[in-house]
Structure 1
Amino acid sequence: MQDTTWRLVHDAVIPYGKAGLDTVVHARAFEATPTDTPIVLLSEFGDHHGRPLSQAIAEAAAAAQAALYRRGDDLRFVQHTPHGQRFHEVRFHQRRRTTVFYHRGAPPARRGRSAHWSTSATPVTVRGARRHIFQPPQWAQDLPWTFHDPHWTELPTTPVNDDGIPQARSARPMELLIPTLLGDTPVQVWPADRYLPSLIGGATARKIADARNAARAPETPPGDAVLF
């Protein structure tokens, strides 16, 4: 196990990619010390439609960068597949800045929009408070980053309390450890059939996901394809 203590600092449902091809992703960001690169976990929902996340991971990374770390911090990305609860670290060969829209401000006609480019909700549960950020998907053209040439490495996991993988039709989450990445900091996972945007982000996230799904073309490939 790593000695570094990681903490969850962002927990958001965000749209990504192209309307008609891609929907929403669950993005969780973990931070430790100022010298440690933040780790962003990108999770595909169990009811995912459109391109598999593995085919659009660069777009999802760009959306997470813009939503959570718009200043351009270096990040480590991990892709989570709920079917089988598999985790892969994704390393990109190249990251490019495409615009300075968010970093230095927008032209006067757009500055008001950029100042309020997201809405948020903070549900409070017995586990504490978590702030959720929701991007309006029609602003995808404003993303200031592009990522290129991803490479995947599977990460071993260990259940906390030896509960095993959560069973279908159970709404109870379980906690997994990713020792080589997050040390003894647990990550919550849910059964794939219950892992829905509304579970994480409520009605706002559900509406955004529904709108993205409704825009899908009939020939869009299904989201349950497994490329690993």
Structure 2
Amino acid sequence: MARSERLLTLLQTLRRYRRPVSGAVLATETGVSIRTLYRDIASLQGQGALIEGEPGVGYVLKPGFMLPPMMFSQDEIEALVLGSRWVARAADPRLAAAGADALAKIADVLPHEMRDEIETSTLLVHLRPPVADKADLDAIRKAIRSERILKLTYSDESGTVSVRNIWPFALSYFEQVRVVVAWCELRQDYRHFRTDRIVEMRPQEVRYPRRRAVLLKEWRDQQEISS
């Protein structure tokens, strides 16, 4: 394993632990000797990583430190490329463009050989074309971020139309459809709304009374979805 990739592996391992972890455990997880581990910790500290601890006590990484983009491993580069290509195929145009822009920014600061890996990646995404959305997905994402109520005119699977206020807190992307996950004031429960069945949508100025993180956790518990 190259030294740069080894340092990245050590950094990622430290990030998984919230409390001090022994050098022996870190050495085992990163596949190096104790002596090499101590040198690698010193190297990261020299680059600005706030690693606290000492031999016999354990080590902990304080938050806030980021390695430069050229420290991405090849697997991570491939994951970014695959993710960006999936977003380009499955997301709305604005989010697809944002994904492409983000990947371009990363590629711009990568070493030449890694930049070639992005441009010549053989990881491909093939999805069936999504159902055309009637709702503005960008407006939905903004409502989620700002925790604003949305007023929907919605047509269900049988064609029955209803008007309701919802508290949107998540947007799920499936291969062909997108689904808003929300608390429904009409039903007084969590409901899922396909964006292609939203007839009309009006963002409200009023914030919903609960935090979206709380709603998300409660919904996950109800659906028995692990975090």
TM-score, normalised with respect to structure 1: 0.20
> Going by fraction, where is strand more abundant, 1 or 2?
1
Higher relative contact order (CA 8 A, sep 6+): 1
Instruction: Answer with 1 or 2: which has the greater Rg.
Output: 2
> Going by fraction, where is helix more abundant, 1 or 2?
2
